[in-house]
Amino acid sequence: MCHSCHSDPEIRTEIRIAGIRGIQGVVRKTVNDELRATIWEPQHMDKIVPSLLFNMQKIEEVDSRIGPPSSPSAADKEENPAVLAENCFRELLGRATFGNMNNAVRPVFAHLDHHKLWDPNEFAVHCFKIIMYSIQAQYSHHVIQEILGHLDARKKDSPRVRAGIIQVLLEAVAIAAKGSIGPTVLEVFNTLLKHLRLSVESEANDLQGGPAGSAALNTASKDNDEKIVQNAIIQTIGFFGSNLPDYQRSEIMMFIMGKVPVFGTTTHTLDISQLGDLGTRRIQIMLLRSLLMVTSGYKAKTIVTALPGSFLDPLLSPSLMEDYELRQLVLEVMHNLMDRHDNRAKLRGIRIIPDVADLKIKREKICRQDTSFMKKNGQQLYRHIYLGCKEEDNVQKNYELLYTSLALITIELANEEVVIDLIRLAIALQDSAIINEDNLPMFHRCGIMALVAAYLNFVSQMIAVPAFCQHVTKVIEIRTMEAPYFLPEHIFRDKCMLPKSLEKHDKNLYFLTNKITESLGGSGYSVERLSVPYVPQVTDEDRLSRRKSIVDTVSIQVDILPNNIPSDDVVSNTEEITFEALKKAIDTSGMEEQEKEKRRLVIEKFQKAPFEEIAAQCESKANLLHDRLAQILELTIRPPPSPSGTLTVTSGHAQYQSVPVYEMKFPDLCVY
């Protein structure tokens, strides 16, 4: 009767209403009748539920996203089979218990499959909203498990069908996440991440197939459909994760991070054997986007809660990848976790802020746990910012996010010691842009200079040391007139004129270490460490991220400086004496193994020794090098008729005039 197709519409409606009322009567009798034990059996549910859904399909489209579906009026029940069927469906689900819940839900999937109602999926979403609001709250996880199981069963269907099922899961999770959904939390994420991998794998296989003509158009269409699936998965992960309690959200963050593949490691738990490089990059981006959604709005009381070592280390690894989009996502995730006072929106964009006080930055006194976190992990954060600034594929957004990272560390985690370290880092970035060991394009060098200017302007106003502010302001004013490409407002603007070189610029265009030291020292800051140049930590991450190891590129730079210019005031063009160059100049036969062992010990020391010990040893090494270089410059043997070149050396506080380069001997000089 419910499926009547009588030719007369009025008679058809009456027959269907009669059939629905019969089902309704059977449902109501289950309260205190022997039918109670049998009506929930699959053979009965497979007839009752599709009959109700068949009539519900005719219901007018209602917007049930705002809240539970509204109850129909008495008049509607009498006249409209669709409304009467929906009401009966609610009654049926409301009487379902733990043991028979699944029997009532599974026929819904069969009906939606048979009538191809997943694409478009408006009716499917409507059905599951009715289900989630009608059943008892403690049974919500049963429905979610059934949706996940059906998604697994339909994993080979078209992308739009899978996207429709995932959208239904999102709507169900949006309701269930308001309460506890028990053991399905990890199952939801595990299943979604598995389907994310399958979608990326399918997309990568289609791209590698390289069909032509009309087949290529079909492939492009399928790729777009796969992106719909991927975006639906990420949206579901993000919505679900952001509605979980903090303790569960921390677990999910760790869970997702454990899935992110990093080149050269096997610590991740996601199968990427079929993805290839393109697919692996795609899955990295998708997982980090999911992580970004989960961390949105997360507010931890202490930074160590938000960024424990077990999470920070794997999170920072992709920040050294040779892919600007991956690095952007890592920085954005860090900002979500670090910004506990909602200051990030005020810092958006990289610019010279005339008066930081106008931003009304919110901050609290640094707690002991945050201080301890920076003592343990500060150098690791500085290292990733330093190396991230020197990537050749950086775009404007990368510099903006790096600037925001420095500003958030200053706001959330900076005591006096951290401020000094951040200023050292900024000066080191300025020096790297001028010296240009990495052969960066001019745009990137000017971008680094602009980032340093924006940050020093920010930090000088945050710590409110007048002399420091004056020095920064003066440099910015001179740059505005003479070198606007060193300021963010100009370099990141279209068609900005770039200089041909940076070597001939006046010293007044640079932030000078001696000026900063003098200004901060006069305000009671401990400035001894400002005289020690910042050098990033040496770790294995460079090798894992396909980057040339820092150990292979560490060199001693010999600056070309005349006697009458203080060494702190100008960073001029330099000629490098690298480890490899010195190695060639010295007879190293039989010493190769010793050199390898010495290098290993140096790396181990920089990884494990306290900062103060390393700084002290570097100072003593600098003094020793000063003495050795003084000896070398006195050794000139058999000078040729004309000099083959000139070399100027500085070491520590010593400066030497340019001298002819003759044939030199290096008796026992060994440089690491």
Q: State how far the Cα of 209 lies from the Cα of 207, in Å rounded to an integer.
A: 5
Q: Look at residues 396, 284, 281, 288 and name the one whose alpha carbon lies nearest to residue 332.
A: 288
* Least confident span in 203-207, 240-244, 469-473, 519-523: 203-207
Place of tokens 């302007």: 457
Q: Which residues contact 206 (CB under 8 A, 6 or more apart)?
A: 219, 222, 223, 226
| CA–centroid distance for 643 within its chain | 54
Residue 339 DSSP label: -
DSSP string, 275-289: THHHHHHHHHHHHHH
* Percent of the chain scoring above 70 in pLDDT: 71
pLDDT the model gives residue 496: 81
Whether 32 is in a domain gets the answer: no
Task: Decide: 165 and 125 in contact? Cβ < 8 Å.
Answer: no
Whether 223 is in a domain gets the answer: no
* Residue 280's pLDDT band (cuts 50, 70, 90): confident
Predicted confidence (pLDDT) per residue in 384-435, tens digit: 999 999 999 999 999 999 999 999 999 999 999 999 999 999 999 999 999 9
* Least confident span in 118-127, 238-247, 321-330, 576-585: 576-585
Place of tokens 């999170």: 315
* Least confident span in 3-17, 513-527, 550-564: 550-564
Task: Decide: 108 and 92 in contact? Cβ < 8 Å.
Answer: no
* Percent of the chain scoring above 90 in pLDDT: 36
Answer whether residue 486 shows pLDDT above 70: yes
pLDDT the model gives residue 626: 66
3-state secondary structure of 3: coil
Place of tokens 């819904």: 108
DSSP string, 9-24: HHHHHHHHHHHHHHHH
Q: State how far the Cα of 354 lies from the Cα of 447, in Å rounded to an integer.
A: 20
Task: Decide: 83 and 68 in contact? Cβ < 8 Å.
Answer: no
Answer whether residue 362 shows pLDDT above 70: yes
Is 443 buried (19+), middle (13-18) or exposed (0-12) by CB count in 10 A? middle
pTM, rounded to two decimals = 0.73
Whether 241 is in a domain gets the answer: no
pLDDT the model gives residue 279: 80
- Mean pLDDT over residues 138-149, rounded? 87
* Residue 494's pLDDT band (cuts 50, 70, 90): confident
Q: Which domain holds residue 363?
A: 300-547
* Least confident span in 33-42, 522-531, 656-665: 656-665
Total structural domains within the chain: 1
572 versus 166: the higher-pLDDT residue is: 166
Q: State how far the Cα of 173 lies from the Cα of 164, in Å rounded to an integer.
A: 14
pLDDT the model gives residue 662: 40
Answer whether residue 547 shows pLDDT above 70: no
Find the angle CA(503)-CA(506)-CA(508) to the nearest 5 degrees. 130
DSSP string, 387-455: HHHT-TT--HHHHHHHHHHHHHHHHHH--HHHHHHHHHHHHHHHHHHHH-TT---HHHHHHHHHHHHHH
Omega before 120 cis (within 30°)?
yes
Residue 655 pairs with which residues in a beta bridge? Answer: 650
Predicted confidence (pLDDT) per residue in 633-666, tens digit: 555 444 444 444 444 444 444 444 444 444 444 4
SS3 content of the chain, % helix, strand, coil (to 5): 65, 5, 35
Whether 471 is in a domain gets the answer: yes
pLDDT the model gives residue 425: 96
pLDDT the model gives residue 652: 44
Where are the alpha helices (H) located in 522-647, listed in sequence order?
A: 541-544, 550-553, 579-585, 592-608, 611-634
3-state secondary structure of 118: coil
Q: State how far the Cα of 570 lies from the Cα of 78, in Å rounded to an integer.
A: 89
pLDDT the model gives residue 299: 84
Q: Look at residues 451, 382, 390, 369 and name the one whose alpha carbon lies nearest to residue 418.
A: 382
Q: State how far the Cα of 44 lies from the Cα of 57, in Å rounded to an integer.
A: 21
Whether 182 is in a domain gets the answer: no
Predicted confidence (pLDDT) per residue in 145-193, tens digit: 899 999 999 988 999 999 999 999 988 888 876 655 555 678 888 888 8
pLDDT the model gives residue 58: 66
Residue 635 to residues 15, 563, 622: CA-CA distances in angstroms?
112, 21, 20
Q: Tokens for 339, please give them.
A: 């910004």
Whether 586 is in a domain gets the answer: no
Q: Tokens for 231, please give them.
A: 């975006």
pLDDT the model gives residue 447: 95
Predicted confidence (pLDDT) per residue in 388-400, tens digit: 999 999 999 999 9
- C-alpha dihedral sign at 577, 580, 581, 583: positive
Task: Decide: 56 and 93 in contact? Cβ < 8 Å.
Answer: no
* Least confident span in 110-124, 240-254, 519-533, 592-606: 592-606
Whether 317 is in a domain gets the answer: yes
Task: Decide: 362 and 339 in contact? Cβ < 8 Å.
Answer: no
Phi, psi of 577 (to 5 degrees): -105, 100
Whether 205 is in a domain gets the answer: no
Residue 77 to residues 248, 368, 376: CA-CA distances in angstroms?
43, 65, 67
pLDDT the model gives residue 258: 87
